[in-house]
Structure 1
Amino acid sequence: MNPGGRTWTKATASGDNGACVELAPAGDGWIALRDSKNLDVPPLLYTRAELAAFLDGAKSGEFDHLLT
């Protein structure tokens, strides 16, 4: 399933188990985020700035406490 003809990207660390978070450009500066195991749910949309802020926080370890 590929709604809107988007090219989805997932992290290589996700493997092929079908439980991945995927990202795709959604036009006009938006980025779509979806759960690959739940394709019937519409993707969430974020601006480039919002996603950049999240990725910066993830890279700096701000969310690591959620994984323990």
Structure 2
Amino acid sequence: MSAPIEWYAASCGQGGGNNCIEIARDGDRVLMRESSKPDEIVVTTPAKLDAFLKGIKAGEFDHFVD
């Protein structure tokens, strides 16, 4: 049996809200979920998550915002 997954909430979730992104590490996988939908889990790798976050910071997805 594997160890239970430890989820970590972004700072917005520390106030007791139920609409925050949570992240966990499971071996070589990164798991992400929205706290209001804990059964819907997105699975990625650390490298892909890093590239995505760098793209956000660089403005690569700004055209999706009104």
Same fold flag (TM > 0.5): yes
Higher strand share: 2
TM-score by length of 2: 0.74
Letter in 2 for 1:20: C
Q: What root-mean-square deviation, in Å, do the aligned CA atoms of Structure 1 and Structure 2 show?
A: 1.9
TM-score by length of 1: 0.72
Task: Report what 1:20 is aligned to.
Answer: 20
Query: Structure 1: which 5+ runs fail to align?
Result: none
Task: Report what 1:63 is aligned to.
Answer: 61
In 2 relative to 1, CA 16–60 (structure 1 residues): closer, same or farther, beyond 3 Å? farther
Deviation readout 1:6-41 (Å, 9 max, x if unpaired): 1212221454321111110011x1100111101233
- The aligned length equals 63
CA distance in 1, matches of 2:18, 2:6: 16
Q: Identity across aligned pairs (percent)? A: 37
Kindly report which structure 2 residues correspond to 1:27-38, keeping only aligned pairs within 5 A, or say none.
27=27, 29-38=28-37
2:55 is paired with a residue of what secondary structure?
A: helix
